Structure 1
Amino acid sequence: MAQKESNGVYDINLLFKDVSDDILTTFLEGKLNLKEYAKSELNNRGRPFIKKAKKDGNNRNLDAFLQASNEFLAICDNIYGLYLDSTQGYNSIFDGILQDQKNDHLKTDEYTYVYASPDGFDRNSYVLHKSTLGKVKNRNSINGENYLSLAAYAIVLIFEHWEREYREKISVAVDQDRELIQFDVLGSMRLFRNDILHNNRIITEKTAKDLKSFDVKAGNSINITFYDLSNLITRIKESLTVYCIKVFDHDPDFEITEYIPERE
């Protein structure tokens, strides 16, 4: 059992060697903050319980790094393409409703809007989803709920691919412990992902505190716009490029899109 530390890994067996039963019991009951306790013990006992990283980086493989990076970036681009394709559909629905509302009987936003199969005019069709014209129009407007929800899901998907597969592949390619493979942009996406899945897309105090480089406030919704999503993916490509140059002294020549400024 081990816990990551900035310069290595906590060896918990050594960390709790010769400590009182009270401290050990507190830890086992989940009432002891391991990180804070370890920091205090560093000051009191030096660093005897810190193990060195298991890998030393002597068996790096540039080809493996490029393959893993290109696979991951292709997934990011595919997810972004899905987002763009879908938002074009949202635009079409929104424009279609505006066009329909030129008819007098459809001017009210309270008019019922129905998705049906196989056809809304078929007597044998059944309702798939029912809403009002106003709600459907609003959620399909630019940066409406459909845009924001899909961008949030894109963040979740990108981070899951990174965390569950490509972080490990990169660590193997550079011969470093997985825990030491860290990029600020993906760390930020992890925090967003946690609040998207576990806090109904509302920013927590912890996320607001840790994301000082973003203009976010606790209690606000996570609203990832088209510009935000595009620029996050660009930052991922830049991070992998800088890392490759640093580790391998090689420019991977990833295709990096220019940052897109938000329209005023």
Structure 2
Amino acid sequence: MQQKDTDPISEFEEIIENLYGLYLDSTVGLVKLVEFLNNVRTTMIQKLEKSDPKIDNPEYLDNQLFIYGEGNPNTSEALKLHECTQEEFYKRNSENGRNHIYMGNLTLISIYHYWESFYRGKIAEFKKIRKEDLQLSIMGDLGKLRRSIVHHRGIALKDVEKCE
């Protein structure tokens, strides 16, 4: 993002747009990861049909590891960064899976953090009012959602019922 001489309201709107774009890009990317895994699995099943028909099924592949790493995985110098089963990978990246939920949560938390830690004060100063006097119901609602996400593992606290 380029630094421009804009009012803080426009700056904050741009931050929100950029975060929303990141969320959309990320969730599309997650869907593409699942498509990639499905293509790899289809190829693996076709190969296994020829070499070992007893294990040419999705259940066998579900239990196989999916590993992120650095370096050649066939050498001892390879660095394993993360591993999970293919089933875990598929579930967390599928639409409405855990990673989609996390991306939504991170987006919401980020928007609220930008507001509360910086832009609320900057916008109040721009409008020549006290920070405490600048209240937007939507930001109050985001604060309630944020508390549920951060402090209650994403389970809505009672005050979320009061959101507008």
Q: How does 1:239-254 map to 2 (within 5 A)?
A: none
2:96 matches 1:143: yes
> Residue by residue, what CA displacement relative to the aligned partner does 1:84-115 show, whole Å, maximum 9, x if unpaired?
22222211210011112223247221111111
Of 74-83 and 131-140, the range deviating more from structure 2: 74-83
Q: Does 2:158 match 1:205?
A: yes
CA distance in 2, matches of 1:91, 1:121: 28
Q: Does 1:174 align with 2:127?
A: yes
- 2 CA distance for matches of 1:129 and 1:186? 36
Give the TM-score normalised by structure 1.
0.52
Identity %: 26
Counterpart for residue 126 of structure 1: 79
Provide the secondary structure at the position in 2 that maps to 1:131: strand
**What are the equivalent positions in structure 2 for 1:165-244 lying under 5 Å apart?**
165-208=118-161, 210-211=162-163, 213=164
Q: 1:73 to 1:119 in 2, by over 3 A?
A: farther
> Structure 2 regions of 5+ residues with no counterpart?
46-55
Alpha-carbon distance, 1:72 to partner: 0.5
What is the aligned length?
147
- 1:70, 1:122 → 2: CA distance? 52
Report what 1:68 is aligned to. Answer: 8
Deviation at 1:81, TM superposition (A): 1.8
Q: Which residue in the other structure is 1:83 paired with?
A: 23
Residue 7 of structure 2 aligns to a residue in which SS? helix
CA contact (8 A) 1:114 1:120 kept: no
Partner Cα distance (1:74, 1:158) in 2? 11
Q: Whole-Å Cα distance in 1 between the matches of residues 72 and 143 of structure 2?
A: 42
Q: Report how far residue 123 of structure 1 moved.
A: 4.0
Match of 2:58 in 1: 107
Cα distance in 2 for residues equivalent to 1:137 and 1:69: 40
Correspondence for 1:13: none
Which structure has more relative contact order (CA 8 Å, sep 6+)? It is 2
Q: Which amino acid aligns with 1:137?
A: Y
Distance 1:182 1:111 in 2: 51
Give the 4+ runs in structure 1 shifted more than 6 A.
none
